[in-house]
Amino acid sequence: SLAGFGNLMQDVLWCFSQVKGTIDIGVTEADIISTVEFNHTGELLATGDKGGRVVIFQREQESKNQPHRRGEYNVYSTFQSHEPEFDYLKSLEIEEKINKIRWLPQQNAAYFLLSTNDKTVKLWKVSERDKRPEGYNLKDEDGRLRDPSMITMLRVPVLRPMDLMVEATPRRVFANAHTYHINSISVNSDYETYMSADDLRINLWNFEITNQSFNIVDIKPANMEELTEVITAAEFHPHHCNTFVYSSSKGTIRLCDMRTSALCDRHAKFFEEPEDPSNRSFFSEIISSISDVKFSHSGRYIMTRDYLTVKVWDLNMENRPIETYQVHDYLRSKLCSLYENDCIFDKFECVWNGSDSVIMTGSYNNFFRMFDRNTKRDVTLEASRENSKPRAILKPRKVCVGGKRRKDEISVDSLDFSKKILHTAWHPSENIIAVAATNNLYIFQDKVN
Amino acid sequence: MFVRGLKRKCFDGEEDIEGTLAGIKAIPSYNLQRQSLLDMSLVKLQLCHMLVEPNLCRSVLIANTVRQIQEEMTQDGTWQMINTQSTGQASLDRLVSTDILCRSSREQAEGKHVPGYSTFNKDFAGDQAQDSSETMSTASSVQAPRNLQSNVWEMENPQENKGNFQKSLDQIFETLENKSPNSVEDLFSEVDNSYYDLDTMLTGMMSNTKMGHCDGLETFSSPTTATSNSNCKSDLNELDHIVEILVES
């Protein structure tokens, strides 16, 4: 059934389903999840971490014996996607951290995904093997070569069943095209091309060609001292293969049409909200920097996330967003501290549900927020081990901003800023969400009656 | 504990003269808060993790914040000179500023009305506050007032200025020497990361301090930073000039 809340927000109850990852108090940095993504059917859920690994979970078939339980996600494949590298020219390390994973639509039995670190994009093929050939002529079962002179008979090898093996192989490596750090990758709706965006440039690739890419956006100034703005995120339109958007550190979004020119330096549309002069501070620009931009599934809207808000824009209206949602406005008076401890530079992502009726984004203290665009209701939930009983209903959380704190509320000063939900994902058609909390992956589902 | 973000409020023209006088007393705190923010920003621009390339987005945002502060300080230039002469030693002011930043938001809300800077010119005329958008100009416009700014500060504390300048230069060259020969060459090569390198040199005067909790702002009162803070912005301009020469060679 198609997703989202056909009913009012308050009618949907979110329940704990699963949590992946260790409970250790000391978190190994390599285990920190850096990206989460469902594939187009929702059958697979991929995570990337700081150690350069990709873990893919597959949803189990729903059991007829237990109709009240939805299919669970279990590990399907784990592989090392990127390794740490050293750039000898600059004497700098290149982190193996997976910045983004994007799935290709499935076209045959195998699954394909793109994964990227700061510099290199890789196309991975994930396929199953449940048969193997046996009875070779030139080698024995151990793989050792036979002496050809000893062979007296020929036989035809046959395929015999074996234990299911899932193997991931790198099919393409797209390297050496980015001077700056890659922040986004996006698969085009033509399924033949994709783009990769770094701080100053966006390149267009063909999946088949790894030794060249087309540069379609370049905002690098001639003199780097004049640099005041960088690209923060980019995405292709879900249906129009010539259209894409990219966001900037100044809170603007540009929509470009690749048909107009080879180098899309001129935007077709420019989205920017006028500044509110009464709210001006030295931190205004920093908190306006857009950390994520996502097209709605319909392609009619774009959603942007800046430090304190999530905004929905209509593609036909450039001068202001049609909706603005406050994620954690109580932080507005704490910006100096958040600047000091660098939290103000945290890049939160945002996601649409399948029907574009609800949007979700993360916050601190392992809180994440959902906003129902129709009812204008919102809810704050928490990803924590305390609420990890199977099918336990998540209780809405509330932050107390001043004055008297009610019993279940938490005060702003008690929030744990080291527990940040930067990455979340929503199943394409069902109310199943994946929330990355540092090194743990939480999966929540709506309550099945 | 957390503190209020620094806000610039436009001066409300309806305030009476009493409010104006109260505002005069509040000016040092605003300026010192702003100076602290500038100092903090310059520390952040320094490359703490030399092994990995710094986040360009973060660097650009911090650099833009530094420019905004410099712009505003430039606009305040003449007014600032009057005020600093009356408040005494710079190092004591430094301690005061950290205390203010660590006050609870309620305490801050009680006493302080921070008026727009433009109102407090020499004549204390009731000028309207400048449109804030004018001050948030791009980097190119900062070039013009630089000379004016450095002249202003040199007039004020020439001796201290020179002392700090020399010390800052020493620290910059020390930073350069500590790097491996290869990376020093890189600094002067045609590689694209010239942006980072300029920042390294500009901020070489600050030691590598890790910013932690708000209480960590007390580190600003330590001897190392106190001496270099007071004429930070004049040093910046002088250093810009020196660095330009170094890089072009």
Q: Is the pLDDT of residue A11 over 90?
A: no
Q: Out of A226, A336, A342, whose CB is closest to B139?
A: A226
pLDDT at position B111: 43
Contacts of B249 (CB under 8 A, 6+ apart): B188
Band (pLDDT 50/70/90 cuts) for residue B223 is very low
Length of chain A in residues, anyone? 449
The sign of the CA dihedral B200, B201, B203, B207 is positive
Mean per-residue pLDDT over chain B, rounded: 49
Q: Is A225 on the interface with B (CB under 8 A)?
A: yes
Q: Out of A181, A280, A336, whose CB is closest to B56?
A: A181
Contacts of A166 (CB under 8 A, 6+ apart): A76, A77, A126, A127, A128, A129
Band (pLDDT 50/70/90 cuts) for residue B33 is confident
B245 is a domain residue: no
Q: Is the pLDDT of residue A326 over 70?
A: yes
pLDDT at position B67: 93
Q: Is the pLDDT of residue B7 over 90?
A: no
Instruction: Say yes or no for a CB contact (<8 Å) between B3 and A337.
Output: yes
pLDDT at position B86: 41
Q: Is the pLDDT of residue B123 over 60?
A: no
The whole-angstrom separation of Cα A85 and Cα A28 is: 20
The whole-angstrom separation of Cα B46 and Cα B68 is: 18
* Mean pLDDT, residues A73-79: 96
B211-215: long-range pairs with CB below 8 Å, 24+: B211/A340, B211/A341, B211/A342, B211/B40, B211/B43, B211/B44, B212/A341, B213/A341, B214/A336, B214/A337, B214/A340, B214/B1, B214/B2, B214/B3, B214/B101, B214/B102, B215/B1, B215/B102
Q: Is B40 on the interface with A (CB under 8 A)?
A: yes
DSSP string, B200-221: HHHTTTS------SGGGGGGGG
Which pair of structure tokens corresponds to residue B195? 């942006």
Contacts of B240 (CB under 8 A, 6+ apart): B146, B202
The pLDDT tens digits for A202-233 are 999 999 999 999 999 999 999 998 999 999 99
Looking at the complex, report in whole angstroms how far the Cα of residue B193 sits from the nearest Cα belonging to chain A: 8
Q: Provide, as residue numbers in chain B, all residues whose Cβ is less than 8 Å from the Cβ of A413.
A: 1-2
Contacts of B225 (CB under 8 A, 6+ apart): B39, B206, B207, B209, B219
Q: Is the pLDDT of residue A239 over 50?
A: yes
* Architecture of domain A12-444 in this structure: 7 Propeller (2.130)
Q: Is the pLDDT of residue A121 over 60?
A: yes
* Mean pLDDT, residues A282-291: 97
Q: Which of residues 44-83 of B touch A (CB under 8 A)?
A: 44, 51-53, 55-58, 60-61, 63-65, 68-69
Q: Is the pLDDT of residue A29 over 80?
A: yes
Band (pLDDT 50/70/90 cuts) for residue A25 is confident
Q: For A257, phi and psi rounded to 5 degrees?
A: -120, 120
The whole-angstrom separation of Cα A303 and Cα A312 is: 4
pLDDT at position A66: 67
Least confident of A363-372, B45-54, B65-74, B191-200: B191-200
* 3-class state of residue A154 by DSSP: coil
* Mean pLDDT, residues B50-57: 80
pLDDT at position B125: 33
B244 is a domain residue: no
Nearest CA in chain A to B137: A228
Band (pLDDT 50/70/90 cuts) for residue A127 is very high
**Which of A236, A232, A362 has the alpha carbon at shortest distance from A290?**
A232
Contacts of A105 (CB under 8 A, 6+ apart): A40, A187, A191
Q: Is A139 on the interface with B (CB under 8 A)?
A: no
Looking at the complex, report in whole angstroms how far the Cα of residue A281 sits from the nearest Cα belonging to chain B: 5
A279-284: long-range pairs with CB below 8 Å, 24+: A280/B7, A280/B8, A280/B132, A281/A335, A281/B5, A281/B6, A281/B7, A281/B8, A282/B5, A282/B6, A282/B8, A282/B34, A282/B37, A282/B65, A282/B68, A282/B69, A283/A335, A283/A336, A283/A339, A283/A344, A283/B5, A283/B6, A283/B65
The whole-angstrom separation of Cα A204 and Cα A234 is: 12
The answer to whether A3 and A431 are in contact (CB under 8 A) is yes
Highest-confidence segment of A19-23, A439-443, B44-48, B168-172 = A439-443
Band (pLDDT 50/70/90 cuts) for residue B244 is low
B99 is a domain residue: no
Q: Out of A91, A227, A333, whose CB is closest to B4?
A: A333
Looking at the complex, report in whole angstroms how far the Cα of residue B159 sits from the nearest Cα belonging to chain A: 31
The answer to whether B27 and B86 are in contact (CB under 8 A) is no
Band (pLDDT 50/70/90 cuts) for residue B182 is very low
Which pair of structure tokens corresponds to residue A386? 């305390």
Band (pLDDT 50/70/90 cuts) for residue A89 is confident
Q: Is B144 on the interface with A (CB under 8 A)?
A: no
Between chain A and chain B, the number of residue pairs with CB atoms below 8 A apart is 125
Q: Is the pLDDT of residue B51 over 90?
A: no
Nearest CA in chain A to B179: A91
pLDDT at position B236: 59
* Mean pLDDT, residues A374-381: 95
The answer to whether A311 and A303 are in contact (CB under 8 A) is yes
Q: Is the pLDDT of residue B246 over 80?
A: no
B49 is a domain residue: yes
Instruction: Say yes or no for a CB contact (<8 Å) between B2 and A337.
Output: yes
DSSP string, A34-80: EEEEE-TTSSEEEEEETTSEEEEEEEPPPPSS-TTSPPPEEEEEEEE
B173 is a domain residue: no
Q: Out of B5, B139, B212, whose CB is closest to A283?
A: B5
pLDDT at position B245: 61
Q: Provide, as residue numbers in chain B, all residues whose Cβ is less than 8 Å from the Cβ of A180.
A: 56
Which pair of structure tokens corresponds to residue A155? 């036989």
The whole-angstrom separation of Cα B113 and Cα B106 is: 13
**pTM of structure:** 0.72
Instruction: Say yes or no for a CB contact (<8 Å) between A181 and B55.
Output: yes
B220 is a domain residue: no
The whole-angstrom separation of Cα A300 and Cα B92 is: 58
Q: Is the pLDDT of residue A389 over 70?
A: yes
Q: For B175, phi and psi rounded to 5 degrees?
A: -60, -45
Q: Out of A226, A281, A337, whose CB is closest to B214?
A: A337
Q: Is the pLDDT of residue B25 over 60?
A: no
The whole-angstrom separation of Cα A193 and Cα A208 is: 9
Q: Provide, as residue numbers in chain B, all residues whose Cβ is less than 8 Å from the Cβ of A281.
A: 5-8
The pLDDT tens digits for B67-80 are 999 988 888 774 35
- Residue A38 amino acid letter: F
A431 or B191: which carries more pLDDT confidence? A431
The whole-angstrom separation of Cα A373 and Cα A12 is: 14
Instruction: Say yes or no for a CB contact (<8 Å) between B37 and A289.
Output: no
Q: Do the strands A309-314 and A323-326 form a parallel or antiparallel pair, or are they unpaired?
A: antiparallel
Alpha helices, DSSP H, located in chain B: 17-45, 56-75, 77-87, 90-101, 105-111, 132-135, 139-142, 145-156, 158-178, 181-187, 194-202, 223-229, 232-248
pLDDT at position B161: 37
Q: Provide, as residue numbers in chain A, all residues whose Cβ is less than 8 Å from the Cβ of B216.
A: 340
Domain extent for B36: 27-75
pLDDT at position A296: 98
* Mean pLDDT, residues B178-186: 39
Highest-confidence segment of B66-70, B165-169, B172-176 = B66-70
**Which of B4, B126, B153 has the alpha carbon at shortest distance from B70?**
B153
B54 is a domain residue: yes
Q: Is B248 on the interface with A (CB under 8 A)?
A: no
Q: Is B125 on the interface with A (CB under 8 A)?
A: no
The answer to whether A423 and A347 are in contact (CB under 8 A) is no
Q: Is B17 exposed, middle or buried (0-12, 13-18, 19+ CB in 10 A)?
A: exposed
pLDDT at position B234: 53
Instruction: Say yes or no for a CB contact (<8 Å) between A227 and B60.
Output: yes
Q: Do the strands A432-437 and A440-446 form a parallel or antiparallel pair, or are they unpaired?
A: antiparallel
Q: Is the pLDDT of residue A395 over 60?
A: yes
Contacts of A317 (CB under 8 A, 6+ apart): none
| H or E element that contains A255 | strand A253-257
Q: Do the strands A410-411 and A399-400 form a parallel or antiparallel pair, or are they unpaired?
A: parallel
DSSP A428: S
Interior/surface letters A77-95, b for 16+ CB within 10 angstroms, e for the rest: bebebbeebeeeebebbbb
Q: Out of B6, B131, B212, whose CB is closest to A282?
A: B6
Q: For B160, phi and psi rounded to 5 degrees?
A: -60, -35
ipTM over 0.85: yes
| H or E element that contains A338 | helix A335-340
The answer to whether B58 and B49 are in contact (CB under 8 A) is no
Which residue of B32, B45, B56 to mutate against A (max A Cβ within 10 Å)? B56
The domain ranges of chain A are: 12-444
Q: Provide, as residue numbers in chain A, all residues whose Cβ is less than 8 Å from the Cβ of B186.
A: 89-91
Q: Is A333 on the interface with B (CB under 8 A)?
A: yes
Q: Is A289 on the interface with B (CB under 8 A)?
A: yes
- Please tell me the total count of domains within chain B: 1
Q: Out of A91, A181, A280, whose CB is closest to B180?
A: A91
